[in-house]
Amino acid sequence: MGMYLLKPACKDYLWGGHKLVDEYNVEYDGDVCAEAWVMSCHKDGNSIIANGIEKDKTLSAVIEEKGREILGKNCEKYKDFPILIKFIDAKKPLSIQVHPDDEYALSHENQYGKTEMWYVLEAEEGAYLYQGFEKEISKEEFEKRIKENTLTEVLHKEYVKRGDVIFITPGTLHSIGAGLLIAEIQQSSNVTYRIYDFGRVGADGKPRQLHIQQSLDVTKIEKPVKYKSLDEHMVNCDFFCVDRIKANDKAYEDVADDSSFVSLLVIGGEGRISAEGETLEVKKGDSVFITAGAGKYSVEGNVEVIKTIVP
């Protein structure tokens, strides 16, 4: 079988809401579902197969059984599964944070760094995020503002709406603001250096851990350049190539060749995904993994999908 419906690993971070359960059909019985890792082989949260003879196995286990060739030739350069895709429901703002690049993360954390992109699915009126600095400041001022809790005064605030695309490179200070629901495509990494957390405390009643020295090591103190794709793709970088697909009255057809697996994340409507003689009925929130070399596949129905491959 070359097509798998995935069940996500869910996270109950304190800033999350419940929209992923209420509106995106995520199965989760907790009070807070902040993130749903809809395609993941990361040790901190593995997706589960929800169909076929491999049902209830982890995606990692299926890849180990079938062989890494089902990931495609473009993944041969990676030691581990390279991509993590998630939904994020920010009822409250996330911490001000930064991610390292591969060199720093591999040497200090024994996992990849984190380049990521956000596709805004829902945005309440006035919702915004932080991305980089409004202007360049000195390292000394940066450190001083961290200590004095005035860092947000010099960060670039970006107001966003549904359909906006934000590209976050390693070293870019950022935070998703309250009232945003986002699809995130990223390198498979869970390395986050938290700089400022709005004075919040965790479930244990203590302030959540900050990572000041690591943040000072990796943060680029610069104003972000607004991302603009150089080709027809929504985002195309070294780590992932992402497209938005609308089937509507006409089926979308493509080929899963031997270069990369294909991830199809349903972000609206409902329809059918077919590959290798099989058809899955899908709805908003569903995540489908198609193996490299599976051949022709199609997306039909009144459905909107985010497609991701490894370039």
| Cβ neighbours of 145 (radius 10 Å) | 18
Catalytic position from the list 162, 194, 208, 272: 194
| Amino acid residing at 283 | K
E-strand spans in 165-210?
165-168, 174-176, 180-187, 193-196
Q: Is 22 helix (H, G, I), strand (E, B) or coil?
A: helix
Distance (Å) of CA 122 to CA 49, 119, 162, 164, 202: 27, 9, 5, 10, 26
144's CB contacts (< 8 A; 6+ apart) are none
Tokens of 210: 């900050």
* Nearest-angstrom CA–CA distance, 52 and 303: 23
Q: Is residue 187 a contact partner of residue 239, using CB atoms and an 8 Å limit? A: yes
Which one, of 298, 292, 295, 294, lies nearest residue 311 by Cα? 292
CA dihedral 157, 121, 44, 171 (to 10 degrees): -30
Answer yes or no: 208 catalytic: no
Catalytically active residues are 194
